[in-house]
Structure 1
């Protein structure tokens, strides 16, 4: 069932959304200032291309590894991200979720867009893992 949902997701907007996340990451990579967020954007793109059967977890609680998402640095990076990009990307995912939730078939897709909106608000320190 997750395979079918992922295929439908790709056909009805997931491919375009994933490509936009990849493009955003590439633009961030072109600047020295945007490098801390590049990998987060590409990680989100991977989730956008194939979201069903996967989940978003906090990196520290999942495997205990320390990275930019841990501590004060991650908080500062997420605040900067929220101010300059996160809120309006999250708003676009929420608007897509509202449009998808109008139909019964679109409800699973709306839930994924809400997850993407939450992830778009603060992507540093998150990890995408396969569901058990």
Structure 2
């Protein structure tokens, strides 16, 4: 079931959302000082491309630096990425088959706003934290 949902997701919204994260990652890597944001953006691009069967978990070893980085991220890139998830999720709600995909889009909003201090883990393996 995860594979079918991921394939439908890829066609309807995953590809375009992943492109948005890749563009944000490239811009962040070009600016040198924001390379950690670029790495986080590329990590989320993979998650946005194939989300079912994985989840975002908070890292216990993330400190105040990730909190400060998340605030900077929200101001420069997070708000428009979250907005794309919101608009895409609302659009997917207009079809019956799109409702589970819309829920997945809404679940991606928090990680698009605050990507630092999180990691992507499979749902079938227990996450212990670091």
The alignment covers a number of residue pairs equal to: 124
> What root-mean-square deviation, in Å, do the aligned CA atoms of Structure 1 and Structure 2 show?
1.2
- 1:12 lines up with 2:15 in the alignment: no
Query: What are the ranges of 5 or more consecutive residues in structure 2 without an aligned counterpart?
Result: 125-130
User: What is the CA deviation profile of residues 35-83 of structure 1, one whole-angstrom value per residue up to 9, with x for unaligned ones?
Assistant: 12011101101101111111111022xxxxx3xxx22111110011111
Query: What are the ranges of 5 or more consecutive residues in structure 1 without an aligned counterpart?
Result: 61-65
Matches of residues 1-132 of structure 1 in structure 2 within 5 Å? 1-60=1-60, 66=61, 70-132=62-124
For the residues of structure 2 that align with 1:93 and 1:112, how far apart are their CA atoms? 9
For the residues of structure 2 that align with 1:82 and 1:13, how far apart are their CA atoms? 22
Relative to the length of structure 1, the TM-score reads: 0.88
After the TM superposition, list the runs of 4 or more consecutive aligned residues in structure 1 that deviate by more than 3 angstroms.
none
Relative to the length of structure 2, the TM-score reads: 0.89
